Each structure stands twice: as structure tokens, then as C-alpha cells.
Chain A
Amino acid sequence: DAGITQSPRHKVTETGTPVTLRCHQTENHRYMYWYRQDPGHGLRLIHYSYGVKDTDKGEVSDGYSVSRSKTEDFLLTLESATSSQTSVYFCAISKSVNEQFFGPGTRLTVL
């Protein structure tokens, strides 16, 4: 299994509060991704990174920001959480564009 962890695994927060999710890898892979998974939508890309300090937006990036200051860590921040951001968040890593390994997921509930 690829060495990829996410923290926290579960979080309940209130509308308007900031939230940061962390993805950590031990594989030294170049690419890292943040997805959200919602019923009826499948996995949707929020942001991705193709190197330290190199990030780009995905299809559902509004309300989210990311940072990658080290190869091993990719942070996803919700500056002011809303109920529509209640979801399961998955991080993924890859060393090439042809494969992705997924983390265990973070279940976020915004009340």
C-alpha cells in the first residue's frame, strides 16, 4: 500500500469556522490531489499539486485553498466552512499521470 495518510479522519465543525485537512505521503511522489466525494457526483477534483509550491485548481475549487510547502504534505483549507462543504474528502498521490493512490478519506460535517 502507498504510504499516504490523512488527518483528521473525522471532523464536525460549525458554519463559518476555518478547517484544514492534511495529506501526508512517504512515497516522495510528485503529484498530489484533493477530491471530494458526494452521492450522485462521484469524485470531483478540488485542487492538485505538481510539485512544491506548484498547485492548480480543479473543477470545484471555489471556497477551498491549498498549500504544498514540502513534498510530503498537501494541505486543504476551507477558509469559512459552509454546509455545502459537508463531504468525504480524499487525497491521492501519483508519480506519473497514469496512476493514483488514494488516502483513507476524511469525513467532514459542517453544521
Chain B
Amino acid sequence: KNEVEQSPQNLTAQEGEFITINCSYSVGISALHWLQQHPGGGIVSLFMLSSGKKKHGRLIATINIQEKHSSLHITASHPRDSAVYICAASPNTGNQFYFGTGTSLTVIP
């Protein structure tokens, strides 16, 4: 049983396309996180959300608490956006994160 599910698992897009990655979770959360991991690289935090919407450059993250669903959008995608995007939930009880299995994004020039 996975507390956090992501879709799609793999995604290929042409440069300039609008991209959406989805995340559903089944636990009560205090926050939802989007992380980015470049090939062979470390893991960096993009967003931490507890409600609504956040924007950073071409990246937008939204969350619907009632539906237990979050989306990460990338506008005007670029080859440097190619990475694995990971959704993670910090539950409102306990001190462990639950991680999705990640979405591998490839943006083709």
C-alpha cells in the first residue's frame, strides 16, 4: 500500500510544452512537498505546500486538501527541466515522510 501515488511514471515532452505531474495521497498531512532530482544528482526541495498554490519561475504547485491531490506544473518546458520529480507527504502524526516513486521527465529540444 502506497500512501503517496504519482502519475505518470515517465513523461516525454517537446521543449515549450506545458507539463503536469499529479500526486495523490491517502494520509492526513501537515504539508506536501515537491522535490527534484537531476540524473546522478542530489535531491532538492522545490515546494512545500499546506494549501492553495505556489509559484516559482516557470514552476507552479497546487494542492486540493479536500481531494488529497496535488499537481506540479511546468510552463514553457526546457531540456534543463529533465529530472525526476518526487512528491512527498509529511503526515500530521509521526515524523516520517511518505514518498511517491517519482516521475521521470525528459524534455526534448
Q: What residues make up the interface of A, taking CB atoms closer than 8 Å to B?
A: 31, 40-45, 48, 50, 58, 90, 97-105
Contacts and interface: CB of A to CB of B under 8 A. Distances in A.
A48 B95 CA distance: 9
B45 A101 contact: yes
B102 A58 contact: no
Which label, helix, strand, loop or mixed, suits the secondary structure of the B interface?
strand
B101 interface: yes
B101 A102 contact: no
Nearest to A50: B95
Nearest to B6: A42
A101 to B, nearest CB: 7
B96 A42 contact: no
A100 B97 contact: yes
Contact of A105 (B30, B42, B96, B102): B42
Contact of B90 (A42, A58, A97, A105): A97
Given A43-B99, A97-B30, 18 more contacts: A40-B101, A42-B99, A42-B101, A42-B102, A43-B86, A43-B97, A44-B99, A45-B97, A58-B96, A97-B94, A97-B95, A98-B31, A98-B48, A99-B31, A99-B33, A100-B33, A104-B42, A105-B43
